[in-house]
Chain A
Amino acid sequence: MDYNATQSGFRQRKLQPNMRQRNSSMEGPDGSQLFEDTSGAGPRTQSGYRNQQTEPQQAGFAGQSLLSDPMSNLAMAYGSSLASQGKEMVDKNLDRFIPISKLKYYFAVDTVYVGKKLGLLVFPYMHNNWEVSYQQDTPVAPRFDVNAPDLYIPAMSFITYVLVAGVALGTQNRFSPELLGVQASSALVWLIMEVLAVLLSLYLVTVNTDLTTIDLLAFSGYKYVGMIVGLVAGLLFGRPAYYLSLLWCCAAIFVFTIRTLRLKLLSEAAAEGKLVRGTRNQLRMYLTMSIAAAQPIFMYWLTYHLIR
């Protein structure tokens, strides 16, 4: 009993240092705390390394209370220190390639945010304030601000799109499990190419913006929601419904993308709607328009072959 409890306690402590990067107080091993702390905290990775150094001591103490035999004490302490060192190394190296702490910001969402954002993606015409609110120079987590980009909706809608594509192929008796993988990888390839093209054009036009690559990934992933709506309507009600709903969603994504990117790409005066002359602002306007126009094209391109 004790052994099992300490074992699971040991494993939970392995999860803890990630959470300690977000909060400075020691919370209990509660799963929901992960998202609670990520929201308002911002980058607090400095406290993470300090906390990780206290972790081997605690794991060592757990080993001491386990058995009174000194040899197994030693073995337990040595094993736990090895494990924590390995974990530190993996964390450090993984953090170099994939910025995990930044990724966590994009997944700090809750149901209310997801609902509002989905409504905004399908009907963006009544929303007035499109600015992202900041908190001491870092953007506020998505759960507090509808305008902040997130990666939860694009990831979920991408997976849903692949599954709905499978269903659509199944209704035409063209389904086989390999086709799911083919659909997934081609949609992913188009997504990557679109993000690379947007990055290249942003570099060429020398826009000084705080849009990161992950932001662009999020904005490009929002069109999957419209695609799913179109596909489901087409599956349920036939081709006219598919065209109608796709048209509606294309217009919605167009307006959504323009209104979101306008604030990020254009200079402040132009973003407020005043006509600012000058080739730079014109170029930026064209860039925003073309990014927004590419979304309906992709939406049609990726779905038309599924509805026959």
Chain B
Amino acid sequence: MAFTLYSLIQTAILCTNAIAVLHEERFLSKVGWAVDQGVGGFGDDPGIKAQILTLIRSVRTVMRVPLIIVNSACIVLLLLFG
């Protein structure tokens, strides 16, 4: 119950890491969530599955470099301060 803002930041970092780790070829296409399998309904209504796939793909593209920086900072801080 005693959540702090720091735990919120930790949760955000962990969740973003989890989404960024999903590999396109090795995993997503096996499940059927590859990037070309969702874009069926153009124009009218993308549907939830297409939205999720777009979200995953955009998180992977956008957050890769900032995640590297943030993760390194987290590792250094945890090593120094426990």
Q: Please pick, from B4, B51, B52, B55, the residue contacting A189 in the complex, using a CB distance under 8 A.
A: B4
Q: Which residues on the A side are within 8 Å of B1 (C-beta)?
A: 186, 305
- Complex: how many Å from CA A190 to CA B5? 10
* A193 within 8 Å of B (CB atoms): yes
Q: Is the CB of B45 within 8 A of A189?
A: no
Chain B, interface residues (CB within 8 Å), range: 10 to 19
Q: Is the CB of A203 within 8 A of B51?
A: yes
Q: Is the CB of B2 within 8 A of A186?
A: yes
Closest to B6 in A: A185
Closest to A193 in B: B8
Closest to A280 in B: B45
Residue-by-residue, is A182-206 near B (CB-CB < 8 Å gives 1, otherwise 0)?
A: 1001101110110000000001111
Q: Which residues on the A side are within 8 Å of B55 (C-beta)?
A: 203-204
- Complex: how many Å from CA A130 to CA B32? 44
* B61 within 8 Å of A (CB atoms): no
Q: Is the CB of A204 within 8 A of B48?
A: yes
A interface secondary structure, majority: helix
Residue-by-residue, is A272-295 near B (CB-CB < 8 Å gives 1, otherwise 0)?
A: 000000001001000000000000
State how many angstroms separate the Cβ of A155 from the closest Cβ of chain B.
17
Q: Is the CB of A206 within 8 A of B8?
A: no
- Complex: how many Å from CA A24 to CA B63? 44
- Complex: how many Å from CA A192 to CA B52? 21
Q: Which residues on the B side are within 8 Å of A182 (C-beta)?
A: 2, 4
Q: Is the CB of A189 within 8 A of B3?
A: yes
- Complex: how many Å from CA A203 to CA B3? 26
- Residue total for A at the interface (Cβ-Cβ under 8 A): 15
Residue-by-residue, is B11-33 near A (CB-CB < 8 Å gives 1, otherwise 0)?
A: 00000000000000000000000
Q: Is the CB of B45 within 8 A of A206?
A: yes
Q: Is the CB of A185 within 8 A of B45?
A: no
- Complex: how many Å from CA A193 to CA B8? 8
Q: Is the CB of A206 within 8 A of B2?
A: no
State how many angstroms separate the Cβ of A1 from the closest Cβ of chain B.
49
Q: Which residues on the B side are within 8 Å of A189 (C-beta)?
A: 3-5, 7-8
Q: Which residues on the B side are within 8 Å of A185 (C-beta)?
A: 3-5
Q: Which residues on the A side are within 8 Å of B7 (C-beta)?
A: 189
Closest to A179 in B: B2
Q: Is the CB of A186 within 8 A of B51?
A: no
Q: Which residues on the A side are within 8 Å of B46 (C-beta)?
A: 206
Q: Please pick, from A190, A280, A283, the residue contacting B3 in the complex, using a CB distance under 8 A.
A: A190
Top 3 A-B residue pairs of the complex, sorted by shortest distance between their CB atoms: A186-B3, A189-B3, A204-B51
List 5 A-B pairs, Cβ < 8 Å: A186-B1, A186-B2, A193-B8, A204-B55, A206-B46
